[in-house]
């Protein structure tokens, strides 16, 4: 079995239970699933669909992971505990992604075409997370164990629950209950309100200046003043 150095390095970095490289190469079912997927994917790209599916079948029987050969998966892909991972044909996954047991990146349609998730780099899918449809999970996202994700998730977020709710973004915790409590709004929202307020102040002072310069101009122009007076008399 050919093992990509990036995939082996991912196991060594992210699995504290592994003894050494030899242990990983011999007994890490997640690493075996990834290696077999890589081979099946190469065959798939060469148009050898039946051979690719045969390896996919063997990998599924051996490791419990069903990764379709058509899926596109970047470097450093790490599956821990292997069992029950399902990744659909049109899924696209970036680099250094981690998947725990029971994760599904599945479709919600039987139509051909792009129907599985697109995932950025350095995403972690907690055990049994289910991500459905042609949605985008941004980079540096953490998906909570047992979550069901049905909508796009922005970069740098943590999403948990059923259906998934974003609980943290760009390092700021999002507390939905308290969103309207002005004394306790997240720093990023607070900063945006302050920026808008100062912009309003700036525009108000420009309007004020224009108004006074216009009225000054009118009063210093005798012809305009006479015209105004005439209009008032009408
Ligand atoms: C999502 C996750 C990454 C968040 O970790 P964290 O940033 O340390 O978050 P916290 O533990 O501080 O929890 C934050 C809030 O989210 C809730 N939460 C955390 N994980 C959750 C989950 N999977 N589902 C639902 N709610 C969850 C917590 O209850 C907490 O809610 P509260 O603020 O109302 O008390 C982590 O909980 C997780 O699920 N990791 C997956 C790990 C895994 O699958 N390991 C398998 C090893 S075999």
CATH number of the domain that 173 lies in?
A: 2.160.10.10
Q: Find the mean pLDDT for residues 102-108.
A: 97
Domain count, the chain: 2
| Among protein residues, the one whose CA lies closest to atom 5 of ligand 1 | 144
127 lines ligand 1 (CB under 6 A): yes
State the distance from the centre of ligand 1 to the C-alpha of 7, rounded, in angstroms: 26
Are residues 171 and 60 part of one domain?
yes
Are residues 218 and 194 part of one domain?
yes
Are residues 171 and 96 part of one domain?
yes
Are residues 194 and 109 part of one domain?
no
Give the percent of the chain with pLDDT over 70: 85
The number of C-alpha atoms within 13 Å of 225 and in the hemisphere containing its C-beta is 8
Three-state SS at 157:
strand
Are residues 22 and 62 part of one domain?
yes
The percent of the chain in helix, strand and coil, each rounded to the nearest 5, is 45, 15, 40
If one residue of 28, 30, 123, 126 were mutated to test the ligand 1 pocket, choosing by the most ligand atoms within 8 A of its CB, it would be 126
78 lines ligand 1 (CB under 6 A): no
Helix H or strand E encompassing 215: helix 187-220
Per-residue pLDDT of 54-85, as tens digits, reads: 999 999 999 999 999 999 999 999 999 999 99
If one residue of 98, 147, 157, 160 were mutated to test the ligand 1 pocket, choosing by the most ligand atoms within 8 A of its CB, it would be 160
Are residues 208 and 175 part of one domain?
no
Are residues 54 and 92 part of one domain?
yes
Are residues 201 and 142 part of one domain?
no
212 or 39, greater pLDDT: 39
Q: What is the pLDDT of residue 223?
A: 65
Q: What is the pLDDT of residue 187?
A: 52
Tell me the residue range of the domain where 229 lies. Answer: 190-233
Six token digits for residue 114 = 């792009």
Query: Is it the case that residue 139 has pLDDT exceeding 80?
Result: yes
- C-alpha span between 161 and 163 (Å, rounded): 6
pTM exceeds 0.85, yes or no: no
- Least confident segment among 16-30, 94-108, 133-147, 187-201: 187-201
Q: What is the pLDDT of residue 195?
A: 74
Average pLDDT, the chain: 90
- C-alpha span between 208 and 66 (Å, rounded): 67
Q: What is the pLDDT of residue 225?
A: 55
Query: Is it the case that residue 2 has pLDDT exceeding 50?
Result: yes
Are residues 120 and 70 part of one domain?
yes
Are residues 148 and 124 part of one domain?
yes
Are residues 120 and 227 part of one domain?
no
- C-alpha span between 136 and 152 (Å, rounded): 5
Q: Find the mean pLDDT for residues 134-161.
A: 98
157 lines ligand 1 (CB under 6 A): no
State the distance from the centre of ligand 1 to the C-alpha of 142, rounded, in angstroms: 9
Q: What is the pLDDT of residue 91?
A: 98
State the distance from the centre of ligand 1 to the C-alpha of 167, rounded, in angstroms: 9
> Cα 150 to the chain's mean position, in Å?
12
Are residues 104 and 26 part of one domain?
yes
Confidence of residue 157 (pLDDT cuts 50, 70, 90): very high
Q: Find the mean pLDDT for residues 3-16.
A: 96
Q: Of the residues 170, 185, 200, which one is the last residue of a structural domain?
A: 185
Per-residue pLDDT of 163-186, as tens digits, reads: 999 999 999 998 766 544 444 445
Confidence of residue 233 (pLDDT cuts 50, 70, 90): low
Torsion of CA 51, 9, 169, 81, to 10 degrees: 60
Query: Is it the case that residue 231 has pLDDT exceeding 70?
Result: no
């Amino acid at each position: 079995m050919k093992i990509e150095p990036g995939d082996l390095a991912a196991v060594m970095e992210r699995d504290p239970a592994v003894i050494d490289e030899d242990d990983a190469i011999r007994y890490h079912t997640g690493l075996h699933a990834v290696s077999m997927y890589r081979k099946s994917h190469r065959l798939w790209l060469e148009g050898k669909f039946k051979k690719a599916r045969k390896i996919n079948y063997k990998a599924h029987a051996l490791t419990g992971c069903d990764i379709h050969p058509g899926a596109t998966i970047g470097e450093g892909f790490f599956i821990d505990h292997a069992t029950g991972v399902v990744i659909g044909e049109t899924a696209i996954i970036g680099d250094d992604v981690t998947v725990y047991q029971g994760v599904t990146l599945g479709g919600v349609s039987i139509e051909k075409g792009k129907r599985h998730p697109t995932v950025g780099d350095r995403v972690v899918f907690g055990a049994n997370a289910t991500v459905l449809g042609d949605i985008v999970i941004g980079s540096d996202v953490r998906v909570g164990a047992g979550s069901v994700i049905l909508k796009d998730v922005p970069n740098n977020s943590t999403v948990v629950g059923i259906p998934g709710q974003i609980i943290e973004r760009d390092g700021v915790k999002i507390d939905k209950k308290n969103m309207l409590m002005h004394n306790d709004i997240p720093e990023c929202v607070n900063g945006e309100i302050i920026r808008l307020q100062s912009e309003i102040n700036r525009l108000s002072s420009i309007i004020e200046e224009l108004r006074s310069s216009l009225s000054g101009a009118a009063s210093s122009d005798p012809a305009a003043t006479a015209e105004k007076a005439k209009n008032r008399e009408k």
